[in-house]
Amino acid sequence: MTEHDRVECLAIETPSGRFAVETGRLRELVAIDELTPVPGSPESIAGITTVRGTVVVVISGQAVLDTTDELLLVFDRDDDRRPVGLAVGDVAGVELIELDALTTPESFAGTTPDGLALKAVALPIGRSTIGEPTFVIDTAELGRSSPVALSGVDS
């Protein structure tokens, strides 16, 4: 198996399940210092903060992943909008997920978590029913799932 048969992801363990984000869009991982609330935003938006002089909209891991908001994963986006951040309690590490183990969220036979756009579901080793799936978050869609909340702070 070559490296092209796998995707590098940062794994996140939460009470709601196991999640992952592709490292290709990950700009950086920093401790959350101070968040400024955004009046009128939904519960999924923890607030805004600055990272190296750039304003980052922070999606609450507590609201969407059932985890604490201690670390901030900052992602670049495809367009010219500001980066977006996802707050998480902890990361489990970097993993290589085999492309053969991935299925679409629509094809996944189990229940997928609400509140986040998913790119894929990594099935347990050997595609068995033993073990927990890993839900791969669609980082390109982060922030788009809460367009009302980002419209005022995302220009």
Residue 69 parent element (H or E)? none
Rounded to an integer, what distance in angstroms lies between the CA atom of residue 153 and that of residue 26?
21
The pLDDT-based confidence of 80 (bands split at 50, 70, 90) is low
Read off the pLDDT of each residue in 72-78 and give the average, rounded to a whole number.
Answer: 87
Per-chain mean pLDDT for the chain: 84
- The Cα–Cα gap between 69 and 109 comes to 30
**Residue-wise pLDDT tens digits, 118-131:** 999 998 865 444 57
Q: Are 142 and 46 in contact (CB under 8 A)?
A: no
Alpha-carbon distances, residue 124 vs 73, 116, 135, 145 (angstroms): 25, 21, 11, 27
In CATH, which superfamily holds the domain spanning 3-151? Answer: CheA-289, Domain 4 (2.40.50.180)
Position 143 pLDDT exceeds 80: no
User: What is the average per-residue pLDDT within 52-81?
Assistant: 87
pLDDT number for residue 3: 59
Task: Enumerate the domain spans of the chain.
Answer: 3-151
Asked whether 107 and 12 are in contact (CB, 8 A), the reply is no
